[in-house]
Amino acid sequence: MKLPKKLLGPMGWGVGPLRRAGSGCMTAGLLFMGLITPASTHGATHKSTDAKMGSPFSITAVAEDEDTARAAVEAAFAEIDRIEARISSWREDSETSTLNRHAGRGPMVVSDELFGLIRRSLSVSKLTGGAFDITFAGAGKLWDFKAKPAVLPDAEALKRGLAAVGYQGVKLDAEQRTVELSIPGSRIGFGAIGKGYAANRAAHVMKDMGIRSGLINAGGDLVAFGRQENGELWTIGLADPLNPDTIFARLDLTDQAIVTSGDYERFIEIDGARYAHILDPRTGWPVRGVVSVTVVCPDGELADALATSVFVLGVEKGLELINRLRGVEALVIDDSGRLHPSESFQTLVVTEGHSAKTSNLKSTS
């Protein structure tokens, strides 16, 4: 049954606890719900899970036989390791960290890969009027979302940090393949796009090996291609951000990425106010008003960057942007639990197979 006209109608059809659903593991609001079936005449499925980029990653490949599927998953993980070592701003020896140390000291020659990632990041910044900004880290480094007790950054330090934020300060020279962080003290970080890029690359590596079906869950950023071993589409559950143990919608996908940015995984609470890890690059402060953004489009990296962007832009401007982009859909949930879908999001949603459980979420229309 396809959900007709109104998205997610009266929200009486969530499901029970996530842990009960299939072989899923929940990260950042998304859950793979398909069952990994044992080897059959159709082929074999191999799945493994590992911590990468500070999040749990799991990779599934469907192939003719178990060995081929396993080799593909291993190759995909090796690719993710390679990417993380190069782009992570948390690693002192990464190319990104070398570039950050070079801020204010002129152009630096970088790899094609880093150049490309920065170039694409800047184009998302332009597309979003600066809501997405890899130089957020100038202010972002002052926020500690793990501190106990929770503490806000010093206002003066934040003001100084903000002076180092601004994607316009990142200068590219394609011919020389150089990047210049022209603002002294500025630094970049790919927290909002790197996992999507890694998921894309992992899928690419598997496809290059002849794998026709796979699912990459990069810490909640999902890229799916082909079909499950039993011939069915990949089934993704959306977790209720107000009650992350329940899911409230099910999407069946192939050759799509689906990414959720939420405020319920990394945040501090002070005097009842929640400060989450997505910052408005214009103020240096965490964004309020939205609790979750899910973006579906064929490209994992773009989905990742747009989910973060829409989070910053808010419901109205965020959806205005999404509705302008062909082949991109989104669902935004505001802090009162209201659902705000993009124009054709409902065409992606299926409902069958779930027991009813009342959700706190409210439909907008």
Q: Is 192 in the site for ligand ADP (CB under 6 A)?
A: yes
Q: Is 304 in the site for Mg ion (CB under 5 A)?
A: yes
Q: Is 217 in the site for Mg ion (CB under 5 A)?
A: no
Q: Contacting ligand ADP (CB under 6 A), which of 189, 226, 241, 300?
A: 189
3-state helix/strand/coil string of 244-274: CCEEEEEEEECCEEEEEEECCCCEEEECCEE
CA dist 216 and 47 (Å) reads 10
Contact 135, 187 (CB under 8 A): yes
Hey, which residues between 306 and 365 contact Mg ion (CB under 5 A)?
Answer: 307-308
x/- track of binding to ligand ADP for residues 139-178 (CB under 6 A) = -x--------------------------------------
Q: Is 192 in the site for Mg ion (CB under 5 A)?
A: yes
Strand bridging mode 285-286 / 290-297:
unpaired
3-state secondary structure of 56: strand
State the minimum distance, in angstroms, from the CB of residue 162 to ligand ADP.
Answer: 12
Hey, which residues between 219 and 248 contact ligand ADP (CB under 6 A)?
Answer: 219-220
Q: At what angle do helices 194-208 and 66-87 cross, to 10 degrees?
A: 140
Q: Could you tell me which of 15, 6, 2 has the C-alpha nearest to residue 341? A: 6
Neighbours of 350 (CB within 10 A): 15
Q: Contacting ligand ADP (CB under 6 A), which of 57, 132, 248, 345?
A: 132
x/- track of binding to ligand ADP for residues 282-311 (CB under 6 A) = ----------------------x--xx---
3-state secondary structure of 364: coil
Q: Under the rule (CB under 6 A), what is the footprint of ligand ADP? A: 28, 132-134, 136, 140, 189, 191-192, 195, 219-220, 261, 265, 277-279, 281, 304, 307-308, 312
